A and B are shown apart, each in its own frame.
Chain A
């Protein structure tokens, strides 16, 4: 164990690793480097007082990056081996779908079958999982109706699980190296990495097909690269290896944000550190402005352009793979859907006139079709003395399994002339020449299948029963031409810039228009409100007197007219480029994500995370359970470390204000910088969750937890810095021993293995922890029969 803590107790630090900032590059020494007046300082107290970033300590600068002692590599290998055992132990059990595996399994099969889907997370982690499945021969036949806790059949789920598990294993050496790069001692790094190894929560999460393990891996990787870069920057900027470290930070940042948007917090962490680095550099008047700008541009290139490109490349890959229509179509705009195989539409006539047969779509809510079918509203107009079955107008909802629109006769409408009394004389489209539909024309819309007119009247709609909304229905019968409530005025809202005519008359696909009800002045309107069962959960269509603009815009997707010659101009959707597809998807992801506000049985708010108030029940079956729960020793030590930091830092600030010169102690400055960096990471990965209204779970704390665990290691480093190596190792061993003991105590909840009710009951140190003890057998002997599935 002697190799754990370096050559001597008072191992001189080469330079204080300050990941937040780097000192200015040393001025070129005008001769032999001046030897430090304080050579080989034996302890912190005797360190030179004054300049925070002394350039030389009597030895030449280290080359930057990280430096490990020779023996440490073996040690690291040993830790990795332990991690492999812990992560991969019986990875195939349970052989059923656990918790959110159901989603990610489905997404993998969507990738394999190229079916378009929409998810709130960016694609990288899912692509990695799919890749793991694909190389082990997955054919994508994961049944889309499969539910949680069902058994896997013909799915290489072990291969899929081994990807997060591998990344979970890699987290351990990265933790070790990060701590070493932060200039902590080897025993500290060992403690930190073992804490991560035996953290039950991270462990549980990395054994299942979930996104958190890739996310955590890339977060840690980014921080590791950043610390390495900061070391390099202190040694000598603009060297080859400096560029390599910086580019690695950028790529890794791109990867973390391509796993989950939580990666934005990592970007914020690195961003703040970069800003501070540049700020300090600016204060160094020896650095010329030109050199400073070079520093700035290098960082802008590698930390902004590189991650952004990486992120977009992931989406490009995503679009390339998902080339076919699938169940995610409904989230996307009509133009977007048109790019998918199976949703392509033939060209249609550009001109629309009185007498045209059309299919009309709503603009804002992803282009639902104006639809009607032969079923009447149960309330509303039935009471309003419409004595017979009146079809109601409503829109197809995305999940309604409709054939493509022009095949569904219920989406077809015919434009008829609506002139009465004093208006322009009646126009018969069947005999007279074609007349294009222009702004201000008054029309009727006749449903082709049922030949009733689109109608509105002063009756509240079935769902949105508010005074500014009117019901819209289909009305009329043979021999009755309808009344003035069928009249609608076309108001062109917006034409296409590249098609001048489209702002003067209605052109298919190019003109956005509103339909104003002639008598009541309300506008044909639709919004994301669904009709109840009797309306087949389709979207409600109403007539709104104070309509918001976006929801009252419509366009025509298909048009046909007998009078139009076959040679007349045709149009089709404009194919959106990558950028507009990318931006549209980002927006859809954002709104979907923000819409997850409903309570979940196992959600919990951020304030309960650091105290580990409750976990998540992943799986219960056959008197076994998998429950996401942290290792209380590791977890509470990390929380304690954070609390200690805030207390100590608060005291230091108060003392500094009262004139105490604590910060002249360079040892304190070292630990202050180290801990501040880790706490910054912790806070930026934790605090933003308080602002989120969506449902949150314990696993959202994991990136912050990683920082907190590192912080607890750093606190250990500081607390034991004055101990003799022997005692130091003893303290570390006690802590690791405690962590391993609690790990092994709770491991049945991780591996889904045999546990007894008594042990379970006695393990609830908080009554809010809700693992289901009632499901376990009272003693082990009873469990044997059902253990046959273990293999």
Chain B
């Protein structure tokens, strides 16, 4: 580093980095201290574009404060965040236990928390970190996991719901100081910092959602910390590879890991950091003075901190999830058979190892989200009108199949010699409860019309060669490749079933049958032979045969990465399946178009006169000003670009870069958190907008700063007027709507003046 420390570089142009405005620039802070003149030049010339924290060039060593006044003076910049934190504690904790019933989605997340305490395996569409924290909150407050969390039910005395809510609301409190520091790091003026923090403090939706046993307060908190880490890191860019630089890069990475492990919505803020990093590296690529070695170090640092670190956090949360949940529970069926065998309370490990003729088995599809091969005494309304064959996710006697020899072979003799099932054998599969044979024929399947229909047909004596299925082994998870597999093992052997007469393969993909098929997964026979299609892979899950010895759990090991991947794909599949019914008016759901205008609120609980009522609704001033400033920012961007094209010079050197940087964080951040919901098919709710709201608030602060608080034309008096007006508007609106945050007692009609828009269903 010694050689490089003396090197300088000229920064010709860059869109990021107030720190790059200076003419000379050093690579590490070691030389920054050596080169005093440079440092001074920096702070003197460009102080106004620097974040507030760096504007204060504080003396290195202050004498320890001897009086309180001195203490306050020395720590003046810490006073506002501390006060705001105390206020936030009030808005988040005040009367938090007032409603003693299960409010809204507490029914879900409280229950998931209970599963951690009971250690039952469950399945949910969200990653585990947030729910583990709910479980932790329960553990810390002494909850034993025995409550069902039925929606709207009153909490019994042994459930410390208040303590749990308080612990989770702490994340909501944390949003406020982080909001303050982010504004500071973005270089906002004092007034803008105060306004932004007030908006975070006084937004009703953010306050309300933080007060219950939900994941949103954690999601928001980690979204805030990620943005904070990004802005903090940005301000360290001028001293690359210093300790602070590394610290904030790593901080951002850990924060990304956390936000992704709470809800997948976190990927949007991850994308924001990703875009920032790409642009940053692109600008560095254009820096001809930078040696390649340093450039590669920049790459390596980001790969380490922004890709590997978050991934490790994400992995770790799943590892802990699997370690805690080691008992069989309601989510078993979503996982592979092998995983289930390792859960306590599951009998798969008792399965006889090798499948023989006459065994009763269940067959599990190995495609992502695959279920168990199933049939029931209902027939297809189309095609052959024979008995349906489907894939079903729950355990049921209708999943049981008997392995029987072909029609042209000797009938199975229960007392004869044991005959094990082998690769290449052709068998009949008899549905145990109806006695029909699994059958296929060249008729189109009901949904996937290019495939053949699979049905159940005939009985123990009636049948034909269309009932014959050849067993083709793919491989075995324990024994390895196909050549080493001689007999079919339960759980571990992956096999395909080929229909002998038609040459097609039994397949269950994610096509859902209509109501006549009970919305189960369609099973069909695919004509195209794709040996790598996991949807045609099956394994024997349960296996019963009295004539064979029982198995042991050590025969069935399940590798972590396979389980991790499997669970993630299952989550993805279930998430995509949350599609609204087009015929049903869901009063809780809302479309993304309604959010920025605050067209909708959400009743979080029953609306009876005796109930304590919470209504999820934003602070209209905050939401509307946010939306307005987003639109205004686009207009302003357009006007500035047009003026630039006409060669007008509106900005001082460096100013444009900084304005653009903050604007990009806010606008792109908002867009990334909003637009995907428009493209998603799934059902959406108003709380999906809450992370995006943060970026619209930042934009409000940025524009107020740009047009008013940092304006040179306006007088101090005007600036104060605007500031006080805005602050009062935000605070007053919050106070006006405080009822819906802290809980409304008594008839709602007693609270007048809340219906600012007709579309809110408050009354």
Q: Which residues of A contact B (CB under 8 A)?
A: 279, 282-283, 285, 463-466, 468-469, 525, 527, 532, 544, 546-549, 551, 598-599, 601, 654, 657-659
| CB closest residue in chain B, given A467 | B584
Contact indicator B583/A465 (Cβ below 8 Å): no
Asked if B296 is at the interface of the complex by the 8 Å CB criterion, the answer is no
Q: How far is the CB of A522 from chain B (nearest CB, A)?
A: 12
Contact residue among B286, B582, B583 (Cβ-Cβ distance under 8 Å from A658): B286
Contact indicator B515/A463 (Cβ below 8 Å): yes
Asked if B647 is at the interface of the complex by the 8 Å CB criterion, the answer is yes
Asked if B678 is at the interface of the complex by the 8 Å CB criterion, the answer is no
Contact indicator B450/A599 (Cβ below 8 Å): yes
Contact residue among A532, A546, A601 (Cβ-Cβ distance under 8 Å from B586): A546
Contact indicator A547/B642 (Cβ below 8 Å): no
Q: How far is the CB of A404 from chain B (nearest CB, A)?
A: 29
Contact indicator B584/A548 (Cβ below 8 Å): yes
Contact residue among B282, B514, B584 (Cβ-Cβ distance under 8 Å from A546): B584
Q: Which residues of B contact A (CB under 8 A)?
A: 282, 285-286, 288, 381, 448-450, 514-516, 581-587, 642, 645-647
Contact indicator B450/A601 (Cβ below 8 Å): yes
Q: How far is the CB of B642 from chain A (nearest CB, A)?
A: 7
Contact indicator B585/A548 (Cβ below 8 Å): yes
Task: List A contacts of B286 (CB < 8 A).
Answer: 657-659
User: In the complex the two chains form, what is the Cα distance from A658 to B647 in whole Å?
Assistant: 26
Contact indicator B450/A466 (Cβ below 8 Å): no
User: In the complex the two chains form, what is the Cα distance from A358 to B586 in whole Å?
Assistant: 33
Contact indicator A468/B584 (Cβ below 8 Å): yes
Task: List A contacts of B581 (CB < 8 A).
Answer: 466
**Contacts A/B (CB < 8 Å), 10 sampled:** A282-B642, A283-B647, A468-B584, A547-B583, A548-B584, A548-B585, A551-B583, A598-B449, A601-B450, A657-B285
Task: List B contacts of A551 (CB < 8 A).
Answer: 583
User: In the complex the two chains form, what is the Cα distance from A469 to B585 in whole Å?
Assistant: 12
Contact indicator B449/A549 (Cβ below 8 Å): no
User: In the complex the two chains form, what is the Cα distance from A527 to B448 in whole Å?
Assistant: 24
User: In the complex the two chains form, what is the Cα distance from A351 to B13 in whole Å?
Assistant: 76
Task: List A contacts of B645 (CB < 8 A).
Answer: 279, 282-283
Nearest 3 A/B pairs, CB to CB: A657-B286, A465-B515, A546-B585
Contact indicator A659/B381 (Cβ below 8 Å): no
Q: How far is the CB of B504 from chain A (nearest CB, A)?
A: 15
Task: List B contacts of A659 (CB < 8 A).
Answer: 286, 288
Contact indicator B583/A464 (Cβ below 8 Å): yes
Contact residue among A279, A532, A548, A598 (Cβ-Cβ distance under 8 Å from B381): A532
Task: List A contacts of B448 (CB < 8 A).
Answer: 599
Task: List A contacts of B585 (CB < 8 A).
Answer: 546-549
User: In the complex the two chains form, what is the Cα distance from A527 to B584 in whole Å?
Assistant: 11
Task: List A contacts of B514 (CB < 8 A).
Answer: 463
Q: How far is the CB of B564 from chain A (nearest CB, A)?
A: 29
| CB closest residue in chain A, given B285 | A657
* Apart from A466-B515, A601-B450, 14 more pairs, CB < 8 Å: A283-B646, A464-B515, A464-B583, A469-B583, A532-B381, A546-B585, A546-B587, A547-B584, A547-B585, A548-B582, A548-B583, A658-B288, A659-B286, A659-B288
Q: How far is the CB of A179 from chain B (nearest CB, A)?
A: 32
Contact indicator B285/A658 (Cβ below 8 Å): yes
Task: List A contacts of B583 (CB < 8 A).
Answer: 464, 469, 525, 527, 544, 547-548, 551
Task: List A contacts of B584 (CB < 8 A).
Answer: 466, 468, 544, 546-548
Q: How far is the CB of B263 from chain A (nearest CB, A)?
A: 26
Task: List B contacts of A599 (CB < 8 A).
Answer: 448-450
Q: How far is the CB of B529 from chain A (nearest CB, A)?
A: 12
Task: List B contacts of A466 (CB < 8 A).
Answer: 515, 581, 584
User: In the complex the two chains form, what is the Cα distance from A657 to B514 in whole Å?
Assistant: 56
Task: List B contacts of A546 (CB < 8 A).
Answer: 584-587
Q: How far is the CB of A614 from chain B (nearest CB, A)?
A: 12
Task: List B contacts of A285 (CB < 8 A).
Answer: 646-647
User: In the complex the two chains form, what is the Cα distance from A546 to B581 in whole Å?
Assistant: 10
| CB closest residue in chain A, given B581 | A466
Q: How far is the CB of A691 from chain B (nearest CB, A)?
A: 10
Task: List B contacts of A548 (CB < 8 A).
Answer: 582-585
| CB closest residue in chain B, given A281 | B645
User: In the complex the two chains form, what is the Cα distance from A720 to B736 in whole Å?
Assistant: 76
Contact indicator B646/A657 (Cβ below 8 Å): no
Q: How far is the CB of B590 from chain A (nearest CB, A)?
A: 14
User: In the complex the two chains form, what is the Cα distance from A469 to B583 in whole Å?
Assistant: 9
| CB closest residue in chain A, given B283 | A657
Contact A282/B646 with A463-B515, A466-B515, A657-B286 known, Cβ cut-off 8 Å: yes
Q: How far is the CB of B299 from chain A (nearest CB, A)?
A: 15
Q: How far is the CB of B520 from chain A (nearest CB, A)?
A: 13
Q: How far is the CB of B434 from chain A (nearest CB, A)?
A: 20
Task: List A contacts of B516 (CB < 8 A).
Answer: 463, 465
Q: How far is the CB of B533 from chain A (nearest CB, A)?
A: 16
| CB closest residue in chain B, given A463 | B515
Task: List A contacts of B582 (CB < 8 A).
Answer: 527, 548
Q: How far is the CB of A610 from chain B (nearest CB, A)?
A: 22
Task: List B contacts of A463 (CB < 8 A).
Answer: 514-516
Q: How far is the CB of A613 from chain B (nearest CB, A)?
A: 14
User: In the complex the two chains form, what is the Cα distance from A174 to B584 in whole Å?
Assistant: 54
Q: How far is the CB of A530 from chain B (nearest CB, A)?
A: 11
Task: List A contacts of B587 (CB < 8 A).
Answer: 546
| CB closest residue in chain B, given A285 | B647
User: In the complex the two chains form, what is the Cα distance from A57 to B585 in whole Å?
Assistant: 70
Q: How far is the CB of A615 from chain B (nearest CB, A)?
A: 17
| CB closest residue in chain A, given B514 | A463
User: In the complex the two chains form, what is the Cα distance from A652 to B232 in whole Å?
Assistant: 34
Task: List B contacts of A282 (CB < 8 A).
Answer: 642, 645-646
Task: List B contacts of A598 (CB < 8 A).
Answer: 449
Task: List B contacts of A468 (CB < 8 A).
Answer: 584
Task: List A contacts of B586 (CB < 8 A).
Answer: 546
| CB closest residue in chain B, given A529 | B583
User: In the complex the two chains form, what is the Cα distance from A657 to B13 in whole Å?
Assistant: 11
User: In the complex the two chains form, what is the Cα distance from A682 to B450 in whole Å?
Assistant: 32
User: In the complex the two chains form, what is the Cα distance from A279 to B583 in whole Å?
Assistant: 47
| CB closest residue in chain A, given B286 | A657
Q: How far is the CB of B262 from chain A (nearest CB, A)?
A: 30
Q: How far is the CB of A461 from chain B (nearest CB, A)?
A: 9
User: In the complex the two chains form, what is the Cα distance from A658 to B585 in whole Å?
Assistant: 57
| CB closest residue in chain B, given A461 | B515
Q: How far is the CB of B761 from chain A (nearest CB, A)?
A: 14
User: In the complex the two chains form, what is the Cα distance from A598 to B511 in whole Å?
Assistant: 12
User: In the complex the two chains form, what is the Cα distance from A659 to B581 in whole Å?
Assistant: 56
Q: How far is the CB of B290 from chain A (nearest CB, A)?
A: 11
User: In the complex the two chains form, what is the Cα distance from A544 to B515 in whole Å?
Assistant: 16
User: In the complex the two chains form, what is the Cα distance from A658 to B287 in whole Å?
Assistant: 7
